[in-house]
Amino acid sequence: MSEETLSNLSREDRSFEPPAELAAHANVKEEAYERAAPDREAYWAEQAERLDWDRKWDRVLDWDNPPFAKWFVGGRLNAAYNCVDRHVEAGNGGKVALHWVGEPLDDTRTITYADLQDEVCKAANALTALGVESGDRVAIYLPMIPEAVVAMLACARIGAPHTVVFGGFSSDALASRLADCQAKVVITSDGGYRRGAASALKPAVDHARAKASEDGFDVEHVLVVRRTGQEVDWDDSVDVWWHDVVDSASAEHACEFFDAEHPLYVMYTSGTTGKPKGILHTTGGYLTGTSFTHWAVFDLKPDTDVYWCTADIGWVTGHSYIVYGPLANGATQVMYEGTPDAPEKGRWWQIIQDYGVTLFYTAPTAIRTFMKQGREIPDKFDLSSLRLLGSVGESINPEAYMWYREVIGGERAPIVDTWWQTETGAMMISPLPGVTAGKPGSAMRPLPGIEADVVDEVGESVPNGSGGYLVVKRPWPAMLRTIWGDDERFVDTYWSRFRKQGYYFAGDGAKKDDDGDIWLLGRVDDVMNVSGHRLSTTEIESALVSHPKVAEAAVVGAADDTTGQAVCAFVILRDSAGDGGADIVEELRRHVQKEIGAIAKPRQIMIVPELPKTRSGKIMRRLLKDIAEHREVGDVTTLADSSVMTLISEGLSSGKAED
């Protein structure tokens, strides 16, 4: 390996100052960084005061037995009380918590905080009647309907950790999660609406339950919400209708307060790199981290903002930034059941226009899809209510950032590119919209209270202008506490690479630019070694996306006789580019060379109709690497659409993809 840890190829000179008006009234100002740095624990204790505690903590952080952290030791609180009841008690019961939008047109519900309180209390009573006690696990397998939020909060209210399984997952994926966390009850629905059709969920639960049972684990009850009205098989000894037991339950429920370290939920990672890990989050630190970051990074003004996060509650983003963060902050938000293109491509923009959404949080994969379709679609709508845009999930390519900024944000709304993980629970590196001059493609600086850095092989901080490993140097409140049932895997996975220094290693590569701002460069597992240069995927992908004919790109390293590894790129063209023209491959190779240098010029570029993505929209590069190296394609179980791999392979053999 060469002395460089990770090459720094691209330069970006654009930068956007915060809007003056936003900066003047920002929730968090520059001084927060200075105040937090000398005493992070004191800073987090101050943020924990945002919550209502039944009993205050005796000690902010117990790090006596690293890497097993305890935050707000001795404190007691209830997460659901913090997300719901306290807003009602403060006189905001009539305020809208959820503007829920179903996929079928005109299928909407408006749910106030008082409504939410009633529903959560009823569901808590119903779960208790089904035998669920504090500490029991409950699996939630639901579409994006209000009952999903109610179910999560009802579990939190009675101290039963939930594990939400994405509604698009198969019965096998559900079965393995049920068994892994030994869920006593599953909450599901008959089905949900996706792409204009009712799609069934209950049969997958029936299969999963049977499968778990064969493996010796029995689910006690399945609580079923009626959403689509489709036929379901019914087992009277297990299945109960939500409308039978929840609707008839009492709306009075005195909540119990739990230890700050009481388990709140187990969430399985999205599985981009391998088998998902059951990440455990606990109550006090997690709620502090999510509520603070949601308020600081989105500059939430709860009385006037309408917030919308497009994630599914099956992902951590849905947990932290649909349920716990926003509701703890008393926000009004939009929740949407369906896909962006149902019944028509402009559906999301229609919703923003209809509800006057001011804060919008989505993923680069969605933005690139809209870029591919062309700006004519969003241009038909009035998006002037938007005052801030967020991005999460992958690095946002500078060109996608510019498109988001211009087309969706009207060059007015700043963009917060938020880096975090299922494991970190809450945002870690992000601009603060009233402070930071954002650079397209950079997540910028660790948030106040967070100590993250880019280090080399031996754990030394790299100088500005260099790349390396992204680490977190000090514990933070929303950090994972362990991998469910597997402390050893927890220690090995996250704390062994820099054991000596005691750093958490996130798996991601990053660089610091000349100003010390942080740029995420993709997974270190995906780093390519080309003639001794360690190249990251992100910069080459972004160079490709900066070509006007390109909408999306994925880059992998394939074995090469002369250079060790060679860059192979898979590219989706914009609709407006047609087939790209006869010379498209050469044109793109030259473009990469011009943008970031000859060393990064792809050996091979394949024009493809789709890319393999996880259900949360992340590109699965390891599958593309299999193709590039002519291997049989590996585990595809976390793939959103397995036919994509067939499409790509067929395209390759029919000669549509060029060398």
* Binding stretches for ligand ATP (CB under 6 A): 269-274, 276-277, 316, 392-395, 417-419, 421-422, 443, 506-508, 520, 523, 616, 618
* Minimal distance, residue 508 CB to ligand ATP, in Å: 5
The pair phi, psi for residue 18, each rounded to 5°, is -60, 145
Interstrand relation of 191-194 and 221-225 (parallel, antiparallel or unpaired): unpaired
Q: Is the peptide bond before 612 cis (omega within 30 degrees of 0)?
A: no
The nearer residue to ligand ATP, 580 or 617, going by C-beta atoms, is: 617
Q: What does 520 bind: ligand ATP, Mg ion, none (CB cut-off 5 to 8 Å by kind)?
A: ligand ATP
Identify the H or E element spanning 34.
Answer: helix 31-36
Residue 392 binding target from ligand ATP, Mg ion, none, CB below 5 to 8 Å by type: ligand ATP
For residue 59, the minimal CB distance to ligand ATP (Å) is 29
395 binds, among Mg ion, ligand ATP, none (CB under 5 to 8 A by kind): ligand ATP
Minimal distance in Å, beta carbon 367 to ligand ATP?
Answer: 12
Q: Output 288 or 317, the one with its CB closest to ligand ATP.
A: 317
CB of 320 to Mg ion, least distance (A): 15
Q: Are strands 388-391 and 415-417 parallel, antiparallel or unpaired?
A: parallel
Binding range to Mg ion, per CB under 5 A, among 61-69, 175-183, 261-269, 428-436 = 261-269
Rounded to a whole number of angstroms, the minimum distance from the CB of residue 101 to ligand ATP is: 24
The token duo for 207 is: 């299969």
Two structure tokens written together for 119:
């529903």
Cα distance between residue 37 and residue 51, in whole Å: 22
**Tokens 């080399």 appear where?**
456
For ligand ATP, give the closer residue by CB, 270 or 291.
270
- Rounded CA gap, 139 and 131, in Å? 14
Residues 85 and 119: their CA atoms lie apart, in Å, by 11
Token pair for 342 = 């149902």
Nearer to ligand ATP, 7 or 272 (CB): 272
Residues 168, 177 contacting (CB under 8 angstroms)? no
Cα(28)–Cα(8) distance, integer angstroms: 31
Q: Which does 289 bind (CB under 5 to 8 A by kind): ligand ATP, Mg ion, none?
A: none
Residue 449 partner contact from ligand ATP, Mg ion, none using kind-dependent CB cut-offs of 5 to 8 Å: none
For ligand ATP, give the closer residue by CB, 120 or 296: 296
CB-CB contact of 559 with 577 (8 Å):
no
The distance of closest approach from Cβ of residue 391 to ligand ATP in the complex, given in angstroms and rounded to an integer, is 6
Residue with Cβ nearer Mg ion (480 or 573): 480
Least CB distance from residue 642 to ligand ATP, whole Å?
18
Residue 350 contact among Mg ion, ligand ATP, none, beta carbon within 5 to 8 Å by kind: none
The residue (of 6 and 219) whose beta carbon lies closer to ligand ATP is 6
308: nearest Cα among 343, 330, 336, 342: 336
Q: Which is nearer to ligand ATP, 269 or 373 (CB)?
A: 269
The contact mask relative to Mg ion for 220-259 (x = CB under 5 A, - = no) is ----------------------------------------
337 binds, among Mg ion, ligand ATP, none (CB under 5 to 8 A by kind): none
Query: By the 8 A CB rule, do 247 and 122 touch?
Result: yes
In this complex, which beta carbon is closest to ligand ATP, that of residue 78 or of residue 638?
A: 638
Q: How far apart are CA 574 and CA 631, in angstroms?
A: 29
Question: Which of Mg ion, ligand ATP, none interacts with 541 (beta carbon under 5 to 8 A by kind)?
Answer: none
Q: How many residues bind Mg ion (CB under 5 A)?
A: 1
* CA neighbor of 476 nearest in space, from 30, 54, 60, 33: 60
Q: DSSP letters along 370-399, please?
A: HHHH-THHHHTS--TT--EEEE-SSPPPHH
Minimal distance in Å, beta carbon 423 to ligand ATP? 6
> Is residue 37 within 8 Å of residue 450, measured between CB atoms?
no
- Cβ 271 to Mg ion shortest distance, Å: 9
In the complex with Mg ion, the residue whose CB is nearer, 269 or 565, is 269
- What is residue 272's DSSP assignment? S
Comparing CB distances to ligand ATP, the nearer of 189 and 365 is 365
Sheet bearing 482-483, strands edge to edge: 239-241, 221-225, 183-189, 137-141, 162-164, 263-268, 278-282, 482-483
Q: How far apart are CA 146 and CA 227, in angstroms?
A: 11
Considering the complex, what minimum distance in angstroms separates the CB of residue 268 from ligand ATP? 8
Cα distance between residue 153 and residue 147, in whole Å: 10
Using Cβ positions, the residue closest to Mg ion within the complex turns out to be 269
* Residue 506 contact among ligand ATP, Mg ion, none, beta carbon within 5 to 8 Å by kind: ligand ATP
Segment 204-223, which members bind Mg ion (CB under 5 A)? none
Q: How far is the CB of 356 from Mg ion (least distance, A)?
A: 35
Query: Least CB distance from residue 199 to Mg ion, whole Å?
Result: 28
Q: Is residue 355 within a helix (H) or strand (E), and if so which, with residue range? A: helix 347-355
Category of 297 on φ-ψ map: left (φ > 0), alpha (ψ -120 to 50) or beta: alpha
Residue pair 555/573 in contact (Cβ under 8 Å)? The answer is no
Residue with smaller CB distance to Mg ion, 32 or 506: 506
| Least Å from the CB of residue 161 to ligand ATP | 18
For tokens 């390396």, what's the residue? Answer: 468
Nearest CA to 479 among 282, 632, 631, 302? 282
**78 vs 536, which CB is nearer to ligand ATP?**
536
516 binds, among Mg ion, ligand ATP, none (CB under 5 to 8 A by kind): none
**Does the CA dihedral 137-143-147-150 come out positive or negative?**
positive
Nearer to Mg ion, 283 or 422 (CB): 422
The listed partner (ligand ATP, Mg ion, none) that binds 276, CB under 5 to 8 Å by sort, is ligand ATP
Interaction mask 262-301, Mg ion, x per CB under 5 A? -------x--------------------------------
Minimal distance, residue 87 CB to ligand ATP, in Å: 29
DSSP string, 499-551: TTTT-EEEEEEEEE-TTS-EEEEEEGGG-EEETTEEE-HHHHHHHHHTSTTEE
Query: What gap in Å lies between CA 191 and CA 197, rounded to an integer?
Result: 10
Query: Rule CB under 5 A: which residues touch Mg ion?
Result: 269
